[in-house]
Chains A and B, each alone.
Chain A
Amino acid sequence: MIGGLFIYNHKGEVLISRVYRDDIGRNAVDAFRVNVIHARQQVRSPVTNIARTSFFHVKRSNIWLAAVTKQNVNAAMVFEFLYKMCDVMTAYFGKISEENIKNNFVLIYELLDEILDFGYPQNSETGALKTFITQQGIKGQHQTKEEQSQITSQVTGQIGWRREGIKYRRNELFLDVLESVNLLMSPQGQVLSAHVSGRVVMKSYLSGMPECKFGMNDKIVIDKQGKGGTTEDTGKSSGKQSIAIDDCTFHQCVRLSKFDSERSISFIPPDGEYELMRYRTTKDIILPFRVIPLVREVGRTKLEVKVVIKSNFKPSLLAQKIEVRIPTPLNTSGVQVICMKGKAKYKASENAIVWKIKRMAGMKESQISAEIELLPTNDKKKWARPPISMNFEVPFAPSGLKVRYLKVFESKLNYSDHDVIKWVRYIGRSGIYETRC
């Protein structure tokens, strides 16, 4: 199991050091600094073995978090734990920075004592932790016996992510379907790979211990209903209305066995914001933009680039924050750009022409042309021609996912599904959206 946990600043000075196992000594702190943080070479692996001691590290801005062990630990768990620890710290004091860590080191030690026992991760849900690890830290004495046992049963219980007795005057929930669409396209316009990775993020402000049921246009569910002929809306919802989900994962509140047997998504949600599910689709993706590149090398000192982008969605919808990044060779000496829409600039420090368009409606197209002057070099190596990448945001889900319902049942309190105010929003963003040129 995890033998120790260290946090360093960018200089390699240790900010937090907590040792859980006897086989990890103080010299481990230095070994990591010398061999990884101060290493001359770029980091080649997130797992490093130094003198039979294994170091797992992740970096958040310029802070290094390292978990150390001498045993054959579950490596995936260690990384998941490190990420979780970052989440917990962020939930407590915001951004993970040297200053924030120094300001909260007592709190961090307290958290580390609670969420990792002898190197075994324990309940690390912020919702639960915040009930008894507070920045005041003195709440302990004023709790009644009931409060105390409520805390402990929540921390250890089946529903460790939600406490009892939550009350809201207005029961409200927000559902965000956030998708990132990824594309790799050949210069000829052939899709080499495309997939959507989506997340359903829920913000719930619901009283009591509500039982929720979430439904979407999952092909398997719709087809099943279609066959059974149970409801009246099957006729129209089958066909292209439904989408094939390659795979999905759920927050730990979702009853997985129920999803496995009936493919229904039921759960008692945590309070506040959390990620209900993640999913991935690869079929019938709506690619919001198509990029058509044309690069011509004119002699050895000049390049001509023309890029056309076409928006491919309903004309009534508007895409925002569009940015096209056209890489330029390292020996670029000057660039002239002409674009029909938006603004384009050559950024020498980034070796790219960055073309920005604030808004663009569906079924439109726009174009940029550039002349790139090159310095003659004796470098034999050809320019690698990195792909042209794109960023954008569109108000629909490129996977075609639709939320069909989110039902809320709370039998003990007197509010019903109809009383809950629900909001649904779809946002499609570019993930790695690249076209080779």
Chain B
Amino acid sequence: MTDSKYFTTTKKGEIFELKAELNSDKKEKKKEAVKKVIASMTVGKDVSALFPDVVNCMQTDNLELKKLVYLYLMNYAKSQPDMAIMAVNTFVKDCEDLNPLIRALAVRTMGCIRVDKITEYLCEPLRKCLKDEDPYVRKTAAVCVAKLHDINAQLVEDQGFLDTLKDLISDSNPMVVANAVAALSEIAESHPNSNLLDLNPQTINKLLTALNECTEWGQIFILDCLANYSPRDDRESQSICERVTPRLSHANSAVVLSAVKVLMKFMEMLPKDLDYYGTLLKKLAPPLVTLLSAEPELQYVALRNINLIVQRRPEILKHEMKVFFVKYNDPIYVKLEKLDIMIRLASQANIAQVLAELKEYATEVDVDFVRKAVRAIGRCAIKVEQSAERCVSTLLDLIQTKVNYVVQEAIVVIKDIFRKYPNKYESVIATLCEHLESLDEPEARAAMIWIVGEYAERIDNADELLESFLEGFHDESTQVQLQLLTAIVKLFLKKPTETQELVQQVLSLATQDSDNPDLRDRGYIYWRLLSTDPVAAKEVVLAEKPLISEETDLIEPTLLEELICHIGTLASVYHKPPSAFVEGSRGVQHKRLTSSAGSGESVESPDTGSAAVSEAPPAVIPSQGDLLGDLLNLDLTPPTSTGPPPAAAPGMQLGAMDLLGGGLDSLMGDESEPLGGDIGGSPAMGAGFGAPPAAMPASFNAPISGGLDDLFDLGGGGMTMGTYIPPKTVWLPAMKAKGLEISGTFVRRSGVIQMEMTLNNKAMSVMSDFAIQFNRNSFGLAPAGPLQILTPISPNQSIEAALPLSTVGPVMKMEPLNNLQVAVKNNIDVFYFSCQYPISMLFLEDGKMERQVFLATWKDIPNENESQFQIKDCHLNSDAASNKLQGSNIFTIAKRTVEGQDMLYQSMKLTNGIWVLAELRVQAGNPNYTISLKCRAPEVSQCVFQNYETVLKN
């Protein structure tokens, strides 16, 4: 029989014809018509108009026809909810059919019809089917509970289906168990805190028994569920591992990967000196290697996972380098992944082989692959010191091939090798210089210019080389321009006599003819440095550079831990936590590895050769791994493209200002000069060499913005008199964030909370694409818009940013209460830090309570909610204190003087509506104040007290 003819009818009036056929008396004709309808539906035509006619065909004993009608119903019921009711009777009847296949079919289809009225009718049949004598019906009903839950979660809970589903975990039939586990796991995901999947040793035992008996898919459901369990001790861990290991020999790769996930996770619990631990490690390698002989798509999934496994436990595959060698016919996505893993596994022992392979790859066809191979050679040089020489000579060989992109890529990596091993391989510079003209990519040009500048004293014609680039200065990309500027300044400092003209030329090109603020800034800095203090200039420009790290693309350890818990899933393929690509509530739970009590430290592999890989760089918030996913859920598009242009916040700036503002200010001694302007263009600067400024700030790259802030504060909002703003503190030290230093503070102006930050780039490369996100916090603080940093931050530049905050974000209680965890992303990585905001940020302007209300509330709040604190060494009188506090929205409602002691009654209101009442006792001549705080949420008292203390003392 051929059904393809149904695809071909496209005549006009087709619907009309079909209608007639559907109502035909002949069974065969009816069936033909329904098939045509389904074919049209597949192609995307709207055949919903035929709804009543198709539903009329439902009442049939022809199973094939019935299935077709059901298929139609599933597609269109939602658009015709009233008509769909017509089908209910048949469903209910079918659920009582003698044939279990029909009972199951009915309950399966009914669950797919997302119409509220139908779901009401579904409950009774579903209840019966969950207890059906036939396992086929039960396994179908189990999945149906998940379907119903997706439509109406409340209904499922009210009807008690969850308990029935839990009972099915003990069912005698393995497939029923597996489906029940799958359904429960899915439902549990949307109720993170419910104890729905109550995993205890008994249920685990049941699952492990079913594991041996159910289908391959069922085994996957069960293993994925097992991975969420936390064993009580290492013995339980070991016994589960022992029962899971046989799965490693399953023909289905997904079963194998899920088993690997369970083992990788539970291994954390095992003491490392245990014999079994070693055995287990050995058992993991062969199945992982076998995955590489699967179909290419699965190989890809396997390789992405192996990449994670190798980062976590390099010892497992350290002897298996060869299996990752690229085959000529591998699809490109497999090749690229294999290359990544090869670099990770490269060590002194196998470097010769690896290099020989990489050299082969560098002659292949695919450009991306070739580039990556060349880059890999450079990474090998940096990773395995002993091989550096061989790598360099391999790269030189490749440069000789004269293939343009190979040459360019090679030069970029040679630059990195120079950084890692300074003054070792400069003999190759001559060869590099020969290829100067063929370089047309900015990155390669910049790299080459850097090399020339860095080694200017050893290159005879360095000035000519650099001069040749200068001709087309304005056509170069920023990256090249900046590099060229620096290189020429370096050259000048090294050979001042013959290059004066050149340096003048580049400085004027950079400062006078360029629109790029970064370039101009850097130009001015150099200019001023050179003109004032050449010795200092030498110290700054020719300073010793920090070493570059071995592994540049390691996944951040907490993220890695989370991803290990997601082995086999999409998260492990994307190398992103689920929350980064899953919408809604699902997948936002964060999984983490639980390690045994004794081994809290990072995983140390027994051999030192690979120890470097497993030594985790310190996480900024190490103790809160489970929060990371939230923070990581950053919008990955650069902020410039998202929001509207920045609201004119007083702290917003042009990037140019802060770098020079402080110094210039003091130089010119002119306080009335408006500071918001573009100082770079101010006439004082035009003098250049001729008029050397009187003094330079000691460290020109440190932001000198304290004074500026104050100025802005006064000019900013009208009512902020006396608002206390804590000084900026360093939140994120550069050491922990690959050179990005963030310091900042919080201010409240005209009712708007702002986070004011100074971002300082202390790294050697340009930073851009900034984005920010907060973790959930006690008062729901969240960025009100994207972080507006419009220009990239060049090395040694700092930029001010003001981020308006709202208080409508997700809430989670933090410890301490005013703790805020922040993630900042840039083009380099994502960084995390935490800071504390003064609680007065949250005090509303309308926090002044009526006197009567105050009295009543004070009485109403129970005494156990009252807390008393001492504020020592405060020399203000009560009026001054009251004024000062008012600036922070702490309002004095009444004042009473009793026996020389002033009692101030004050109130404040938090953004979330919590009122705090205070009684402040000030005794003349006594520097110690006493304060009593009353609040319905006594947790805040401590914070409020601290705030009083800081406000009064500053």
Q: Do A and B come from one complex?
A: yes
| Nearest CB in chain B: distance from A243 CB, A | 15
Q: Is B216 an interface residue (CB 8 A)?
A: yes
The distance from the CB of A44 to the nearest CB of chain B, in whole angstroms, is 6
Segment at the A interface, from B400-408, B492-500, B736-744: B400-408
Can you list, as one digit per residue, whether each of A147-169 has a CB less than 8 Å from chain B (1) or not (0)?
01101110111101000000000
Within the complex, which residue of A17, A76, A160, A193 is in contact with B42, where a contact is CB–CB below 8 Å?
Answer: A17
In the bound complex, residues from chain A placing their C-beta under 8 Å from that of B114 are 22
**Distance of A124 Cα from B220 Cα, bound (Å):** 14
A266 to B417, CA, bound (A): 57
Instruction: Answer whether residue B848 sits at the interface, using C-beta atoms and an 8 A cutoff.
Output: no
Stretch with Cβ within 8 A of B (4 or more), from A254-262, A308-316, A397-405, A407-415:
A254-262
| CB of A53 to closest CB in B, whole Å | 9
Does any Cβ of B come within 8 Å of A434's Cβ? yes
CA distance A138 to B175 in the complex (A): 26
A251 touching B569, Cβ below 8 Å: no
Is B429 at the interface (CB under 8 A from chain A)? no
Q: Is the CB of B249 within 8 A of A248?
A: yes
Would you call B569 and A80 a contact (CB within 8 A)? no
B135 in contact (CB, < 8 A):
yes
Does B578 belong to the interface (CB within 8 Å)? yes
When distances are taken between beta carbons in the complex, the residues of chain A under 8 Å from B111 are: 118
Q: A46-B300, A193-B323 are in contact. Are A54 and B581 (CB under 8 A)?
A: yes
1/0 per residue, CB under 8 A from A, across B22-62: the answer is 00000000000001001100111000000000000000011
In whole angstroms, how far apart are the Cα atoms of A436 and B139 in the complex?
55
Q: Which of B105-156 contact A (CB under 8 A)?
A: 108, 111-112, 114, 134-137, 139-140, 143-144, 146-147, 150
Beta-carbon contact of A113 and B71 below 8 Å: yes
| Contact pattern, B 817-856, Cβ under 8 Å of A = 1, otherwise 0 | 0000000000000000000000000000000000000000
Tell me if A237 counts as interface (CB < 8 A to partner B). Answer: no
Cβ B71 vs Cβ A105 within 8 A: no
Contacts of A57 in B (CB 8 A): 297
Contact B573 A75 (CB under 8 A): yes
Given contacts A259-B246, A381-B403, contact A132 B301 (CB under 8 A): no
A83 to B294, CA, bound (A): 11
Is B365 interfacial (CB-CB < 8 Å)? yes
Q: Which residues of A contact B100 (CB under 8 A)?
A: 148-149, 152
Assess the B325–A103 pair: CB atoms within 8 A. Answer: no
- Decide if B365 touches A384 in the complex (CB within 8 Å): yes
Instruction: Determine if A236 is an interface residue (Cβ-Cβ < 8 Å).
Output: no
- From residue A262, how far is it (CB to closest CB) to chain B in Å? 11
CB-based nearest A residue for B210: A158
With a cutoff of 8 Å between Cβ atoms, the chain A residues found around residue B1 in the complex are 103, 135
Task: Give A326 to B81 CA distance when docked, in angstroms.
Answer: 66
Q: Tell me the residues in window 96-141 of chain A with beta carbons closer than 8 Å to chain B beta carbons.
A: 99, 102-106, 109-110, 113, 117-118, 120-125, 132, 135, 137-138, 140-141
Q: Which of B251-259, B546-554, B806-814, B934-942 faces chain A?
A: B251-259
Size class of the A contact interface (CB-based, 8 Å): 35 or more
B297/A58 in contact, CB under 8 A: yes
Query: Do residues A249 and B568 form an inter-chain contact, with CB atoms below 8 A?
Result: no
Judged by a CB distance under 8 angstroms, whether B221 is at the interface is yes
Q: Which residues of A contact B258 (CB under 8 A)?
A: 74, 76-77
A323 CB, nearest partner CB in chain B, Å: 15
CB distance from B390 to the nearest CB of A (A): 17
Contact flags B248-273 to A (C-beta < 8 A → 1, else 0): 01111110111000000000000000
C-alpha gap A23/B150 in the complex (Å)? 11
B104 CB to closest chain A CB, in angstroms?
Answer: 8
A143 to B144, CA, bound (A): 26
- Shortest Cβ distance from A389 into B: residue: B328
A74 in contact with B571 (CB, 8 Å) = no
Q: What chain A residues lie within 8 Å of B112 (beta carbons)?
A: 20, 118
- Would you call the interface of chain A mostly helix, strand, loop, or mixed? mixed
- Distance A118 CA – B187 CA, assembled complex (angstroms): 13
**Within B314-343, which residues are at the interface with A (CB < 8 Å)?**
322-323, 325, 327-329, 332-333
**Given A79-B297, A138-B63, A156-B175, residue A384 in contact with residue B363 (CB < 8 A):** yes
A117-B254 contact in complex given A79-B298, A138-B64, C-beta closer than 8 Å: no
State which residues 17-43 of A face B: CB under 8 Å: 17, 19-23, 26, 29, 42-43
Q: Is A49 a contact of B581 with CB atoms below 8 Å? A: yes
C-alpha spacing A135/B64, complex, angstroms: 9
* B98 on interface, CB distance cutoff 8 Å: yes
Q: A77-B254, A246-B286, A256-B247 are in contact. Are A52 and B67 (CB under 8 A)?
A: no
Q: Is B544 an interface residue, CB under 8 A from the partner?
A: no
Least Cβ distance of B222 to chain A in Å?
12
Which chain B positions have C-beta within 8 A of A104?
3
Q: Which residues of B contact A54 (CB under 8 A)?
A: 570, 581
- Interface positions, chain B 346-371, Cβ under 8 Å from A, are 353, 357, 360, 363-365
A56 in the interface (beta carbon within 8 A): yes
Q: Which residues of B contact A430 (CB under 8 A)?
A: none
Given contacts A156-B139, A246-B286, whether A256 and B249 have CB atoms under 8 Å apart is yes
A140-B333 in contact given A52-B581, A250-B249 (Cβ < 8 Å): no
Contact with A along B174-208 (1 / 0, CB 8 A): 11100100100010000000000000000000000
Q: Does A184 contact B (CB under 8 A)?
A: yes
The minimal Cβ–Cβ distance linking B577 to chain A, given in whole angstroms, is: 9
Binds B, one of A65-73, A216-224, A368-376: A65-73
Does A120 lie within 8 Å of B573, measured CB to CB? Answer: no
Alpha-carbon distance between A436 and B844 when the two chains are bound, in angstroms: 76
User: Contacts A106-B68, A249-B256, A387-B328 hold; do A197 and B173 have CB atoms under 8 A apart?
Assistant: no
Find the A residue at minimum CB distance from B137.
A152
Q: Is the CB of B71 within 8 A of A156?
A: no
Pick the residue among B216, B293, B325, B568 that contacts A75 (CB under 8 A): B568
A227 at the interface (CB under 8 A from B): no
B572 interface residue (CB < 8 Å to A): yes
CA distance A75 to B252 in the complex (A): 12
Rounded to whole Å, the gap between the CB of B129 and the closest CB of chain A is: 13
User: A386 CA to B329 CA in the complex, in Å?
Assistant: 10
Determine if A232 is an interface residue (Cβ-Cβ < 8 Å). Answer: no
Interface stretch of the complex, out of B82-90, B455-463, B582-590, B601-609: B582-590
- Name A123's contact: one of B104, B215, B301, B571 (CB within 8 Å): B215
- Say whether B566 faces chain A, with CB atoms less than 8 Å apart: yes
Most A-side CB within 10 Å, residue of B71, B111, B302: B71
Q: Which residues of A contact B323 (CB under 8 A)?
A: 193, 195
User: A73, A120, A132: which contacts B143 (Cβ < 8 A)?
Assistant: A120
Judge if B425 is at the interface, Cβ distance under 8 Å.
no
Q: Is B290's CB within 8 Å of the partner chain A?
A: yes
- Residues on A with C-beta less than 8 A from B254 are 74, 76-77, 79-80
A74, B322: Cβ atoms under 8 Å? Answer: no
With A and B bound together, what is the CA distance between A7 and B247 in angstroms? 32
Among B144, B214, B243, B296, chain A packs the most CB atoms within 10 A around the CB of B214
B355 CB to nearest A CB, Å: 13
Q: How near does chain A come to B404, taking the closest CB pair, in angstroms? A: 7
Q: Note all chain A residues with C-beta closer than 8 A to B182.
A: 1, 120
Which residues from A are CB-within-8-Å of B353? 192
Q: Is A15 an interface residue (CB 8 A)?
A: yes
* Residue contact B581 to A249, C-beta cutoff 8 Å: no
**Interchain residue pairs with CB less than 8 A apart (7):** A20-B112, A29-B44, A72-B578, A83-B295, A123-B215, A151-B136, A152-B136
Given A118-B112, A195-B323, 16 other A-B residues pairs in contact with their CB atoms under 8 A: A15-B42, A20-B112, A43-B333, A72-B581, A75-B570, A102-B7, A121-B217, A124-B215, A137-B62, A137-B64, A156-B139, A247-B249, A247-B289, A249-B250, A256-B247, A260-B249
Task: Give the 3 A-B CB pairs with smallest separation, nearest first.
Answer: A137-B64, A247-B286, A152-B136
Residues of A in contact with B (beta carbons under 8 Å apart): 1, 13-17, 19-23, 26, 29, 42-47, 49, 52, 54, 56-58, 69-77, 79-83, 99, 102-106, 109-110, 113, 117-118, 120-125, 132, 135, 137-138, 140-141, 143, 145, 148-149, 151-153, 155-158, 160, 184, 192-193, 195, 197, 246-252, 255-257, 259-260, 275, 277-278, 280, 380-382, 384-387, 389, 432, 434, 436
